[in-house]
A = this chain, B = another copy of it.
């Protein structure tokens, strides 16, 4: 590997000149710059990230903090992940996966202590997430994908639940439905203040009221069995219900089973819309599901972009980034 010294020699200048030529922290004459550029090209020089980091600049490594992985990481977060990695790459950063138990603050402390990461992306934010406070106090660069009331707006990237709700309910109303059911995530997730469970419920109920749609909301554990139970109960309680909104991927198979157990068929007797799930998944079902696609790719992309903006000190944009889901019509609605 060529070092900065090599290229300085080759260009006939001092190392510092090369350094400044690269960073642009000091005006360098065009002529010298040209020579340097050429030398760099010829030796295909690449600054050693370690040395650079040691000397006080960053590592250009970003840490994506995930919850310990056993349970989470569905098809949804993979899209987020891949776009995030892509974004990082395109801005010349690296993305590494942090799967330690970051909610244990002493673990988080260890992670940040080794100064390997220039910044962090936090996911799966809960109400009053201690990690947010912790990172803020330490003054570390980070963004969150999700919502936390005490975070400065420019640090948040989240789903636009309100718009998502409006869009799906507008569609529902347009199709003539007047009574809808909403199968949310688990009560536990809701109580923990998990963004989607809380915000989607609020937005949906609020919007339904405004549109004059009757909405019955139920919580549901992410399992086939629960899906079946909840669907059956919900439908028994609301005989006039004609459309079901589901934001619970794991429960979907059970819900479908429950529906057919009641002798109903989708979409003839009942329309079904999956909320914030990935298209890949929605299309696996038969009939394929009408769904509001979760903007995971955008979340990943913007998360990284915003973090890099912060790192590089250009905060043109101080607002929160909100991205709505996208409606895809499948075969599960009429």
* Residue A96 lies at the interface, judged by CB distance under 8 Å to chain B: yes
Is the beta-carbon distance between A97 and B81 smaller than 8 angstroms? yes
> In the complex, A48→B112 CA distance in Å?
11
Is the beta-carbon distance between B116 and A99 smaller than 8 angstroms? no
* Residue A69 lies at the interface, judged by CB distance under 8 Å to chain B: yes
Is the beta-carbon distance between A286 and B96 smaller than 8 angstroms? no
For residue A79, give the distance in angstroms from its CB to the closest CB of chain B: 8
A85-B97, A280-B74 known; A50-B116 Cβ under 8 A: yes
A240 contacts which chain B residues (CB < 8 A)?
none
A64-93, CB < 8 A from B: 66, 68-70, 73-75, 77-79, 81-83, 85-86, 89
Of the listed stretches A51-59, A150-158, A315-323, chain B binds A51-59
A81-B97, A96-B97, A253-B286 known; A69-B49 Cβ under 8 A: no
> In the complex, A49→B116 CA distance in Å?
7
A82 contacts which chain B residues (CB < 8 A)?
66, 69-70, 73, 99
Copies in the complex: 2
A96 contacts which chain B residues (CB < 8 A)?
61, 94-97
For residue A308, give the distance in angstroms from its CB to the closest CB of chain B: 16
Would you give the 0/1 interface string for A93-122, flagging 1 where the beta carbon is closer than 8 Å to chain B?
Answer: 011111110000000001001111000000
A278-331, CB < 8 A from B: 280-281, 283-286, 288
Q: Max chain B CB contacts within 10 Å: which of A77, A78, A224?
A: A78
Other-chain residue from B44, B74, B100, B253 in contact with A75 (beta carbon distance below 8 A): B74
Smallest Cβ-Cβ distance to A94: which chain B residue: B96
* Residue A257 lies at the interface, judged by CB distance under 8 Å to chain B: yes
* Residue A46 lies at the interface, judged by CB distance under 8 Å to chain B: yes
Q: Max chain B CB contacts within 10 Å: which of A44, A50, A110, A288?
A: A50
For residue A63, give the distance in angstroms from its CB to the closest CB of chain B: 9
Other-chain residue from B77, B94, B114, B285 in contact with A78 (beta carbon distance below 8 A): B77
Q: Which 5 A-B pairs have the closest CB atoms?
A: A69-B82, A96-B96, A50-B53, A78-B78, A85-B97
Extra 19 A-B pairs, beta carbons < 8 Å, given A50-B115, A69-B83, A94-B116: A46-B114, A49-B115, A50-B50, A50-B59, A51-B54, A66-B85, A70-B82, A73-B81, A75-B75, A81-B81, A81-B97, A89-B100, A94-B98, A96-B97, A97-B97, A253-B288, A256-B286, A284-B285, A286-B286
